[in-house]
């Protein structure tokens, strides 16, 4: 019969010595490491205290701490803010703001077949630190971000770096748009979301009816795309503020009309939002004179019809042809649409987000990117749609020109004058300066594709999206018209975020050590004399 050990020797059984007990040398080493860590923390706190006294606004302290958490992870190419005129100090400009726009490439949209040269950088663990580092190192005061997902990690990072953020996405979307601003300088006054699918292109609203049961908004495709609007007020001067608008327009390159429709609606709703008083007890009058910045991924190139409409350039014959070809009604608008557009196929899925591809420059022979793709790639044909009918309410070229002109004038513009493209202005100024000569010259769109004399677009970035298959300019920062007409009140572009050169981005983004997205962040610094 087995007996309990304690009953045989009169005492409790002892446990055997642990085989994992630390040696005296290991204990000493552990204590030394703890002491070293504590000393680092003490020195960091001491440094922060000194910096806080010399920098009471704490403009970069939170950013530096957030960068420190990344350590060596997520290395990217460094990019400077480059002064665009010889007087790069710009001491006479007492009020300055840095603005950045960037499409992050939502993790939900990553597909290896689209980025065959990116390797393991496509994994979340590799890309996310690169995304976070890019945002922090650029050190902008205002950021407009698109294709934003994984907000559970991004929003805390922004907060720790001293930013407040407003996030908005369309119904059923896996990603959205985000506007962030530095809390040491600004506070949020109001926010608004525009769902393009619910808006009519005309003003006053005209409801068209088809077969007695389907209302039309002059739309060709239900896209669930949105515009995100945010009013921010200067914390030191409550009468000063900005109306910020960001958007990510419909991706399909053949739907030129739908993008033009979306932007016309966006302009109208921005004006309504700017004129409306902010809600709550802190409502302030005067936002109708605030500066309006529109930035985002517009999914069109400088040779596109919508770019020309925004800049108040006349439509070219090729732009009119692209608009006419895209005046269709997709089954998402009319489920009974069975008559396919000539040359299209009913097979395949044209409703996947981003359609498995980026917009191409098909209409203007943008260098033949994506030639390796199949002839009938889903982004190169219009499927599951019929030709538009009069009762669908799609706007003609003449009506689009009129609507854009009316919306720009309502914002404060003058006849024949469109928005200001700030990146283009920066490039033009830099090229005209001594710093923009020779090897230091920043490359622009017209360096690789001709732009007719007298038309805008040639001074835009050379590239803002650079992948194995698609190399494009899709991202812009626009300054919208203001009721304030005095030239002294107009901001001047002081610097531009250094663009990446094509050879730096080969063999295609995302790329380890270069950039974590397929888009490159664009940015400008604006200055006011008062």
Which of 101-105, 268-272, 276-280, 472-476 has the weakest average pLDDT?
276-280
Specify if 414 maps to a domain: yes
Q: Which residue has the tokens 């009319």?
A: 334
Taking a C-beta distance cutoff of 8 angstroms, is the pair 217, 209 a contact?
no
How far are the Cα atoms of 143, 164, 235 from residue 181, in angstroms, in the given order?
A: 6, 6, 12
Name the burial class of residue 399, with classes exposed (0-12), middle (13-18) and buried (19+) by CB atoms within 10 angstroms of its CB.
middle
Give 338 or 77, the one with higher predicted confidence. Answer: 77
For residue 17, pLDDT beyond 60: no
**Quick one: which H or E segment has residue 495?**
strand 492-497
Summarised one tens digit per residue, pLDDT across range 375-396 is 345 567 899 999 999 999 999 9
Specify if 59 maps to a domain: no
Treating both helix axes as pointing N-terminal to C-terminal, what angle do 124-138 and 61-70 enclose, rounded to 10 degrees?
Answer: 160
Summarised one tens digit per residue, pLDDT across range 429-448 is 999 987 667 777 899 999 99
> What percent of the chain stands above pLDDT 70?
78
Specify if 60 maps to a domain: no
For residue 7, pLDDT beyond 70: no
Which residues, including other chains, have CB under 8 Å from residue 151's CB and lie 6 or more apart? 167, 178
Q: What is the pLDDT of residue 460?
A: 99
Give 331 or 37, the one with higher predicted confidence. Answer: 331
Taking a C-beta distance cutoff of 8 angstroms, is the pair 251, 300 a contact?
no
Q: What is the pLDDT of residue 99?
A: 99
Taking a C-beta distance cutoff of 8 angstroms, is the pair 108, 175 a contact?
yes
Instruction: Provide the CATH number for the domain around residue 516.
Output: 3.60.10.10
Specify if 18 maps to a domain: no
Name the burial class of residue 463, with classes exposed (0-12), middle (13-18) and buried (19+) by CB atoms within 10 angstroms of its CB.
buried
Specify if 44 maps to a domain: no
Band (pLDDT 50/70/90 cuts) for residue 25 is: confident
Q: What is the pLDDT of residue 282?
A: 56
Q: What is the pTM of this model?
A: 0.83
Q: What is the pLDDT of residue 36?
A: 76
For residue 524, pLDDT beyond 90: yes
Q: Please count the other Cβ atoms lying within 10 Å of the Cβ belonging to residue 261.
A: 29
Q: Looking at the DSSP assignment, which residues form a beta bridge with residue 81? A: 497
How far are the Cα atoms of 62, 160, 182 from residue 69, in angstroms, in the given order?
A: 11, 11, 20
Specify if 126 maps to a domain: yes
Give 40 or 161, the one with higher predicted confidence. Answer: 161
Can you tell me the mean pLDDT for 48-77?
Answer: 70
Q: What is the pLDDT of residue 42?
A: 61
Q: Which residue has the tokens 């590799």?
A: 126
| 107: its two tokens | 């993790």
Number of structural domains found in the chain: 1
**Mean pLDDT over the full length of the chain:** 84
Q: How big, in percent rounded to 5, are the helix, strand and coil portions of the chain? A: 30, 20, 50
Specify if 61 maps to a domain: no
Give 179 or 71, the one with higher predicted confidence. Answer: 179
Specify if 504 maps to a domain: yes
For residue 314, pLDDT beyond 50: yes
Q: What is the pLDDT of residue 366?
A: 34
Which of 508, 514, 516, 502 is closest to 470 using CA atoms? Answer: 508
Segments forming the whole domain that contains residue 222? 79-368+375-528
């Amino acid at each position: 019969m087995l007996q309990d050990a304690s009953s045989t020797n009169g005492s409790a059984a002892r446990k055997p010595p642990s085989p994992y007990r630390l040696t005296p040398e290991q204990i000493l080493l552990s204590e030394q490491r703890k002491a070293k860590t504590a000393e680092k923390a003490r020195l960091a706190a001491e440094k922060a205290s000194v910096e806080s006294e010399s920098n009471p606004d704490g403009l970069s302290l939170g950013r530096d701490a957030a960068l420190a958490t990344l350590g060596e992870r997520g290395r990217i190419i460094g990019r400077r803010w480059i002064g665009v005129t010889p007087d790069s100090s710009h001491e006479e400009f007492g009020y300055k703001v840095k603005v950045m726009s960037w499409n992050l490439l939502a993790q939900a949209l990553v597909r290896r077949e689209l980025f065959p040269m990116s390797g393991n950088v496509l994994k979340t663990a590799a890309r996310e630190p690169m995304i976070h580092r890019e945002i922090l190192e650029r050190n902008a005061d205002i950021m407009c971000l698109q294709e934003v997902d994984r907000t559970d990690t991004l929003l805390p990072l922004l907060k720790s770096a001293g930013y407040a953020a407003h996030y908005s996405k369309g119904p059923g979307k896996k990603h959205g748009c985000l506007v962030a601003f530095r809390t040491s300088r600004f506070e949020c006054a109001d926010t608004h979301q525009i769902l393009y699918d619910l808006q009519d292109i005309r003003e006053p609203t005209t409801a068209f009816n088809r077969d007695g049961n389907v209302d039309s908004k002059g739309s060709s495709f239900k896209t669930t795309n949105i515009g995100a609007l945010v009013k921010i007020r200067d914390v030191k001067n409550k009468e000063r503020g900005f109306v910020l608008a960001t958007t990510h327009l419909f991706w399909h390159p053949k739907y030129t009309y739908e993008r033009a429709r979306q932007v016309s609606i966006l302009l109208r709703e921005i004006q309504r939002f700017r004129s409306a008083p902010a809600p709550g007890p802190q409502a302030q009058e005067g936002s109708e004179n605030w500066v309006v910045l529109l930035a985002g991924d517009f999914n069109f190139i400088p040779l596109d019809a919508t770019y020309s409409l925004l800049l108040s350039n006349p439509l070219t014959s090729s732009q009119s042809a692209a608009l006419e070809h895209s005046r269709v009604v997709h089954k998402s608008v009319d489920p009974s649409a069975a008559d396919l557009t000539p040359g299209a196929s009913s097979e395949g899925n044209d409703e996947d987000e981003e359609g498995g591809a980026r917009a191409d420059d098909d209409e203007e022979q943008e260098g033949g990117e994506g030639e390796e793709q199949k002839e009938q790639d889903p982004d190169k044909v219009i499927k599951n749609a019929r030709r538009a009918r009069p009762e669908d309410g799609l706007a003609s070229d003449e009506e689009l020109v009129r609507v854009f002109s009316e919306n720009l004038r309502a914002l404060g513009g003058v006849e024949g004058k469109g928005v200001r493209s700030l990146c283009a202005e920066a490039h033009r100024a830099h090229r005209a300066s001594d710093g923009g000569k020779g090897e230091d010259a920043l490359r622009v769109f017209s360096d690789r594709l001709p732009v007719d004399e007298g038309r805008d677009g040639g001074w835009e970035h050379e590239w803002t999206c650079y992948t194995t298959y698609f190399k494009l300019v899709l991202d812009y920062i626009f300054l919208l018209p203001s009721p304030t007409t005095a030239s002294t009140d107009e901001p001047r572009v002081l610097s531009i975020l250094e663009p990446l050169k094509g050879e730096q981005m080969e063999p295609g983004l995302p790329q380890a050590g270069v950039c974590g997205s397929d888009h490159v962040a664009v940015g400008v610094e604006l200055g006011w004399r008062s």
